[in-house]
Structure 1
Amino acid sequence: MQHSFAGLPSDFYTRLMPTPLPQPYLVAASSQAAALIGLDQASLAEQSTLDILAGNAIPDQAQPLSAVYSGHQFGVWAGQLGDGRAILLGEVPTEHGPIELQLKGAGLTPYSRMGDGRAVLRSSIREFLCSEAMAALGIPTSRALAVAGSDQGVVRETIETSAVVLRMAPTFIRFGSFEHWFYRNQPEQLKTLADYVIARFYPQLRDAANPYAALLEAVTRRTAELMAHWQAVGFMHGVMNTDNMSILGETIDYGPFGFMEAFDSNHICNHSDSQGRYSYGNQPQIGHWNCYALGQALLPLIGEVETAQAALDVYQPVFAAKIDALLRAKLGFTTAQDDDRDLLDAMFGMLHDNHPDFTLFFRRLGNLQVDADTSEEGNAHPDAPLRDLFIDRAAFDAWALRYRARLRQENSIDSLRKAAMDAVNPKYVLRNYLAQVAIEKAQQKDFTEVARLLKVLQRPFDEQPEHEAYAALPPDWASHLEVSCSS
């Protein structure tokens, strides 16, 4: 194990040991994440591994530390934050580059503020499952190796049991890491961090005319593409604070996230977000806002405001190109046409007005046949499974008429299009109620549902007829579920 971040000056972090988790037990583990760092299934079951997962032991050559950073929270400068319950152990070399290992929920740190440094079983399971689900969807994300649980109680809205999740990513440096030094007026530390990030993660930028502007542009591009990925699959992060934005354009810090069910462009997945700042429809512009915050922090290194602005100006065209490409693929188009944007806008307007299930709409759209006889009504209508998702079926019919005409323009073949659409439109996503069922069983020491759900989510595009229930519309009780910043 190595630890390049520990090579930075001491004011970037605090060295400390994890707080042991009393009488830990393994809740869940991802063999796919384990394979990335050379672990096999058998090693995940060993007591020595569990001790590391729980923070009761550390790997050889580990240098545990918690990093300091700052950030904007809900658009307001929050000052110093830092790893309040996360401890970075070090990094493991892999064929794809070093991967850092971080324990979340491993105890108090100097940055815990009013918190207790622990994570609860509920949120740990949610982060574990969603990290692995997002990876299977092909969306840039941190990974989760495993969750270790304990009967130790922690107080949130109620008393819950504690847990530790081991997270994996090339780095956990975030926008707020740069903001910290900018707002403290410490340009030497700002430059040290920027040089470290460029050398380690963006080495191709070292010879640019202005490496720091090139860094801002590269991060802006990655962030714009990440936002497009989120929008295309209906994922909502819930807390897009600058301290939760990865410098690599990966999804990190899973908290009150959600996948869109009944479509509403204004949907707010985080109960704590009273103003709706991080609603589904706002995510792209908030991603851009966060890049501006990063640009502000990097300005002392970039120099000219105009140079920074030019780097930030790539956001909108990159996002537009990526989301259009993703949506064309979701609709089964193999070409780009000038009026595609009108068709897409009409589709989202129809979805917003009728609130069909987002995932089911796109999955069932793949079954639409170009030359089907649509004169029938009721169950005999060829589009019935899709059409029945809509309150205003006439509105759907009108849009479907335009969609079919668009497909005919490129001589679309039903079977080929369905195969292509099924490869990008997931059948299975981590719906909140599915996570809740798994959590409630896990709270009773039954971890089988967590394992079963993980296996389903690791193959989101496959039919998996034996798991059909996991793709169904959510039950009525699911509408009462709320997720918040509390964890």
Structure 2
Amino acid sequence: MTHFDNSYARLPKRFHTKIAPEMSPAPEMVLWNEGLAEALGVADWDAEICAGNVIPDGADPLAQVYAGHQFGGWSPQLGDGRAVLLGEVVTDQGRFDIHLKGAGRTPYSRNGDGRAWIGPVLREFIVSEFMHAAGIPTTRALAAVRTGGRVQRERAYPGAILTRVAASHIRVGTFQYFTAQGDEEAVRLLTEHVRARHFPQAGSTLELYAEIVKAQARLIAGWMGLGFVHGVMNTDNMAVSGETIDYGPCAFIDGYSPKAVYSSIDRAGRYAYEQQPSMAHWNLAQLGSCFVPQMEAELGGQQQAIEALTEILNSFPDLYQAQWRAVFGAKLGIADPQDADVALIQELLGLMAKDGADFTNTFRGLLDGTARYWVLDRAGFDLWAEHWQARRAPDWQEIIAKASPAVIPRTHRIEEAIQASLAGDDSKAKRLARVLTRPFDLAEEDRDLTHPPREDEVVHQTFCGT
């Protein structure tokens, strides 16, 4: 039996608006995550519930309010413009939000229709479940449902709803919203809520901030190790829990370039692959500013508060670098990567960047000797390999096999699946969803999914679908 306990709904009214999802005319299940459903105790849910037509017992639907910096520009009120939080399910593994994305208009829709179409819903389902399987903290996907309605974008598309599961949907922008209003009580209540829910080990506001900084360092290093480009690292898209959230125009690098940008709206490359660590640092600085009034009260002065928070913020680069070294060291089969190994890692990345070697296949190819063939500078690779062989662990193959997936959600494959679904064929989407939940253990018949796109298949831009 599903056990709801809706702690966010018990926060004061200014944190949210109670609202039910809009009705969907003819819900149809497209993708269903059976394992996650069983873990959450919702195995009996159907398309009617996942479309918001039926509200499960104990749920208390609401839309959350938040603000945020979007590409550096301040937006004082954002919020769940096309999503409804059904409530929080409590299991033996913890507390999880269940969220309907694409469930219709809310007070925060900002003239939008509040709906989603099938393309972004399939993309988020496939990519988020891959990220989970690859060991990256992430929101997860329980269901993808066609609504039976149409959504107007550049043309009319089949409407859809994603049932998203998360540790919470609290963002840096949630803190920013109340800080901008000078609502210190709300910031304090939110701080206490986040501490109790995500970081109970934190005994103070400063310790809470330190835990959030550590979690973000781990998360971004994990992204980098997969060649993942989020695309919209706005402060309203950074979850304080340390999970990846809001997959919009995300993509995975095929031919390696540190400057890779895919999002159609990121015209200046603010959120390019190589920029992601510094952008996370910038977002954390915005969060830190929200804690100043509380810290001032705890430490007895504004200057003391700013200095203490700045010290924590300034720890991020070193924390991130240590995580990055561990992630990429494992991809080289190094059991105990040291500072000196950073040059070895960077040298391989440099060889890959020269001619856009395939990111995933090069690292996975270290297992079977095929990495050399993805890099055009073979002489340079051979010289590099001599140093690498001297550093790799006795069980290096086992280490690499666990650190470098054999297959990733390549954008051209996702687009292929979306186009097939638009034509009424969901088999390609179902295949990706199945294969990408076991990305380190690829069956022979699925090896075609490891191929980079042909020149005519390359997807140069991705779109958020709003």
TM range (shorter): over 0.9
- How far the C-alpha of 1:259 sits from its partner, in A, is 0.7
Q: Which residue of 2 aligns with 1:465?
A: 444
CA 337–100 in structure 1, closer or farther in 2 if over 3 Å, else same: closer
Q: Which residue of 1 aligns with 2:464?
A: 485
Q: Which residue of 2 aligns with 1:377?
A: none
Structure 2: state its 5+ residue gaps. Answer: 297-304
- How far the C-alpha of 1:338 sits from its partner, in A, is 4.7
TM-score by length of 2: 0.95
Q: Which residue of 1 aligns with 2:152?
A: 155
Q: Which residue of 2 aligns with 1:142?
A: 139
| Deviations 1:296-347, CA, capped at 9 Å, x for gaps | 1121112210011122122112111111111111100123345212111212
- How far the C-alpha of 1:452 sits from its partner, in A, is 1.4
Does the 8 Å CA contact 2:262/2:460 hold for their aligned counterparts? no
Letter in 1 for 2:190: L
2:198 is the alignment partner of 1:201: yes
Indicate the SS of the match to 2:55. coil
Does the 8 Å CA contact 1:433/1:481 hold for their aligned counterparts? no
Letter in 2 for 1:485: C
Structure 1: state its 5+ residue gaps. Answer: 369-384
Q: Which residue of 2 aligns with 1:358?
A: 359
2:91 is the alignment partner of 1:90: no
Indicate the SS of the match to 2:217. helix
* Residue 271 of structure 2, aligned match among 274, 278, 294: 278
Rounded Cα–Cα distance in structure 1 between residues aligned with 2:323 and 2:225: 10
Q: Which residue of 2 aligns with 1:18?
A: 21
Rounded Cα–Cα distance in structure 1 between residues aligned with 2:60 and 2:448: 45
Aligned length: 455
Letter in 2 for 1:163: A
Letter in 2 for 1:232: G
- How far the C-alpha of 1:278 sits from its partner, in A, is 0.3
Letter in 1 for 2:286: A
1:89-238 equivalences under 5 Å are 89-205=86-202, 208=203, 211-238=204-231
Letter in 2 for 1:403: W
Q: Which residue of 1 aligns with 2:302?
A: none
Does the 8 Å CA contact 1:432/1:478 hold for their aligned counterparts? no
2:431 is the alignment partner of 1:452: yes
Indicate the SS of the match to 2:91. coil
Q: Which residue of 2 aligns with 1:395?
A: 380
Q: Which residue of 1 aligns with 2:400?
A: 421
Rounded Cα–Cα distance in structure 2 between residues aligned with 1:57 and 1:150: 13
Does the 8 Å CA contact 2:21/2:52 hold for their aligned counterparts? yes
Rounded Cα–Cα distance in structure 1 between residues aligned with 2:233 and 2:288: 16
Q: Which residue of 2 aligns with 1:442?
A: 421
- How far the C-alpha of 1:481 sits from its partner, in A, is 4.8
Indicate the SS of the match to 1:80. coil
Does the 8 Å CA contact 1:20/1:54 hold for their aligned counterparts? yes
Letter in 2 for 1:274: R
CA 338–12 in structure 1, closer or farther in 2 if over 3 Å, else same: closer
Rounded Cα–Cα distance in structure 2 between residues aligned with 1:197 and 1:241: 20
More moved, 312-321 vs 251-260: 312-321
Kindly, what percent of the aligned residue pairs are identical? Answer: 38
- How far the C-alpha of 1:63 sits from its partner, in A, is 0.8
Q: Which residue of 2 aligns with 1:269?
A: 262
Letter in 1 for 2:13: S
CA 309–318 in structure 1, closer or farther in 2 if over 3 Å, else same: same
Indicate the SS of the match to 1:101. strand
Indicate the SS of the match to 1:470. helix
Q: Which residue of 2 aligns with 1:74?
A: 71
Does the 8 Å CA contact 1:109/1:117 hold for their aligned counterparts? yes
Letter in 2 for 1:320: Q
Does the 8 Å CA contact 2:138/2:245 hold for their aligned counterparts? yes
Letter in 2 for 1:127: E
- How far the C-alpha of 1:351 sits from its partner, in A, is 1.6
Does the 8 Å CA contact 2:63/2:79 hold for their aligned counterparts? yes
Indicate the SS of the match to 2:269. coil
1:223-372 equivalences under 5 Å are 223-303=216-296, 304-368=305-369
Rounded Cα–Cα distance in structure 2 between residues aligned with 1:336 and 1:448: 42
Rounded Cα–Cα distance in structure 2 between residues aligned with 1:67 and 1:442: 31
More moved, 126-135 vs 385-394: 385-394
Rounded Cα–Cα distance in structure 2 between residues aligned with 1:60 and 1:486: 31
Indicate the SS of the match to 1:204. coil
Rounded Cα–Cα distance in structure 2 between residues aligned with 1:18 and 1:177: 21
Provide the aligned C-alpha RMSD in A: 1.4
Rounded Cα–Cα distance in structure 2 between residues aligned with 1:280 and 1:337: 24
Indicate the SS of the match to 1:152. strand
Q: Which residue of 1 aligns with 2:38?
A: 35
Rounded Cα–Cα distance in structure 1 between residues aligned with 2:25 and 2:338: 60
Indicate the SS of the match to 1:165. strand
